[in-house]
Amino acid sequence: MSSSDSNRLPEAPDSAPGLQIPLTASTGFLLARVGGESRKWFTQSLLKHGLRTSHYAVLMALAGIGPMSQQSLAGLIGVDPRNLVGVIDLLQERGLLEREPDPTDRRRHAVNLTSAGRDLLAQLRLEGERLELRMLAALNASERSTLHQLLLRLLPVVSDKEELD
């Protein structure tokens, strides 16, 4: 063994080839790595439909809550209202949503899903479920449920807007 080989860190088990043990010993690293790969898979799936994650967020929000003002929608999905206009324009051009006068305030427009938007969202959800099953295939049903419950417990902590020290 050469001196450069003796200075190398040992590799992680075969389940994580190419990664060194100090990296895989960090839960934060593993969460970031798995999350990053999951996001990449989902982003690639959306790109097949000519969509980005912001488009998906708009469709999901409208499906879950119903018609709402552009301002409310921007706040809900965490997008600057000025940036949301282009997203809404594209989705409207594709027939996935429509703008109508807001019944509570005629100066505003309410955004709503069309039937084509609901149909596409149903397809995207199925594709997302298939990707999730592929990603979690190494876990049995009980382990997947436990992972989900643990992530739900962590979500409020990471969603806290308070600055890190």
| 15-35 mean pLDDT | 78
C-alpha 158/C-alpha 146 separation (Å) is: 19
Domains and CATH numbers, the chain: 37-131 (1.10.10.10)
DSSP state letter for 30: H
What is the band of 17 on the pLDDT scale with cuts at 50, 70, 90? low
| 128-141 mean pLDDT | 95
CA angle 20, 17, 132 (to 5 degrees): 110
> What rounded mean pLDDT belongs to the chain?
86
Which pTM does this prediction carry? 0.73
C-alpha 20/C-alpha 8 separation (Å) is: 9
Which residues, including other chains, have CB under 8 Å from residue 69's CB and lie 6 or more apart?
102, 105, 108, 109, 110, 111
Which residues, including other chains, have CB under 8 Å from residue 110's CB and lie 6 or more apart?
67, 68, 69, 99, 100, 101, 102, 103
Give, in order, the Cα–Cα distances in Å from 24 to each of 4, 9, 18, 95, 136: 22, 12, 11, 45, 18
Whether the CB-CB separation of 114 and 95 falls below 8 Å is answered with: yes
pLDDT, one tens digit per residue, over 78-95 is: 889 899 999 999 999 999
C-alpha 29/C-alpha 122 separation (Å) is: 32
Residue linked to tokens 């084509």:
116
